[in-house]
Amino acid sequence: MESIRTYVSFDPSKRVVSQKTCFFFIVINRKSVSVDSVEWIDAFNRDAFTHDEVFIRFHTDGGGIVVSEFDKGFTEAVAALAGIFPGIERWNDVTPETPLTEAGLTLWTRPRGSDSENATRLD
């Protein structure tokens, strides 16, 4: 049983991506970003002997948040965000074919002078 667990979620009514870390049932850390403040999104991997892990970073002017594919709710949050950030569903493309190699991939970026409704996908 894991005593520390991290959860990620997307609230479409508030347009906020949230992450919280709990020790059993006690919240020890909470972060969130508004999807309207996200400037760009990238994915990167941590390749290790024990297991690989992919992260998605939501960059904002104030910093942003980093979520892991092992956070509870990750798959559901990414699926819900795909309509707002086209290209985010390609997060797993960052996994390299060569073991123990680090990689990064820009998934989405906000065009200059536009809002989130006019965002573009990077291929």
State residue 52's pLDDT score.
Answer: 84
* CA distance linking residue 98 with residue 112, whole number of Å: 35
* CA distance linking residue 85 with residue 87, whole number of Å: 6
CB neighbours of residue 59 within 10 Å: 19
Percentage of the chain with pLDDT > 70? 89
State residue 1's pLDDT score.
Answer: 60
Residue-wise pLDDT tens digits, 16-34: 999 999 999 899 999 999 9
pTM for this model (two decimals): 0.85
Residue 40 placed within a domain:
yes
Domain range for residue 97?
33-121
Residue-wise pLDDT tens digits, 71-107: 999 999 999 999 999 999 999 999 877 777 888 999 9
Residue 97 per-residue DSSP state: S
Residue 56 placed within a domain:
yes
- As for how many domains the chain has, the answer is 1
Residue 11 placed within a domain:
no
Residue 24 placed within a domain:
no
Residue 20 placed within a domain:
no
Residue 3 structure tokens: 């005593």
